[in-house]
């Protein structure tokens, strides 16, 4: 048996032609992000691998989190910002390594392909406070 789903023309209108069925990505600390799940940790088993196409609406942001495995992001349209000041325009691919901590946002909105080897862990309020204090001390 072959079970396949094809997404066509993602770079030339395919993000907007109705082939993607967006659903709200509900997670504490995340705001204004919709996704189309390609596969989930529930499907991949103990490793927790997951992949999705994300629509970061204008003004959206993720939570401050730690990566438990590698994460690959390919910006399909728009621009994504990382909390360290990096900006990733369309066509940029970047890889977060395990144990990296970051928070992304998109002031103007963007679309991205996200592939995670393992899931992420949201930082606790105490860890967030410590991260903010360390960033302020470094400046």
Q: What is the CATH number of the domain that holds 42?
A: 2.60.120.10
117 is a domain residue? yes
130 Cα distance to chain centroid: 23
Query: Are 127 and 135 contacting, i.e. CB atoms less than 8 angstroms apart?
Result: no
What pTM, to 2 d.p., does this model score? 0.86
Answer whether residue 13 is part of any domain.
no
Report the number of distinct structural domains present in the chain.
Answer: 1
The phi, psi pair for 12, rounded to 5°, reads: -135, 50
Structural domain that includes position 36 = 23-137
Is 18 part of a structural domain of the chain?
Answer: no
Q: Is residue 122 part of a domain?
A: yes
pLDDT digits (tens), the chain, 139 positions: 899 999 999 999 999 999 999 999 887 777 899 999 999 989 998 888 999 999 999 999 888 889 899 999 999 999 999 999 999 999 999 999 999 999 999 999 999 999 999 888 888 767 666 665 566 666 6
- Separation of alpha carbons 102 and 13, rounded Å: 30
Position 4 in a domain = no
d(CA 86, CA 15): 24
């Amino acid at each position: 048996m072959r079970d396949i789903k094809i997404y066509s023309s993602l770079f030339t209108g395919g993000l907007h032609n109705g082939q993607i069925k967006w659903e709200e990505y509900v997670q504490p600390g995340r705001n204004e992000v919709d996704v189309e799940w390609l596969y989930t940790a529930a499907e991949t088993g103990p490793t927790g691998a997951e992949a999705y196409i994300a629509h970061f609406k204008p003004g959206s942001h993720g939570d401050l989190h730690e990566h438990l495995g590698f994460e690959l992001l390919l910006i399909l349209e728009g621009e994504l910002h990382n909390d360290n000041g990096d900006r990733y325009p369309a066509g940029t691919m970047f890889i977060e390594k395990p144990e990296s901590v970051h928070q992304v946002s998109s002031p103007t909105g963007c679309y991205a392909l996200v592939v995670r080897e393992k899931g992420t862990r949201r930082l606790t309020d105490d860890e967030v406070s410590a991260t903010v204090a360390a960033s302020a001390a470094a400046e």
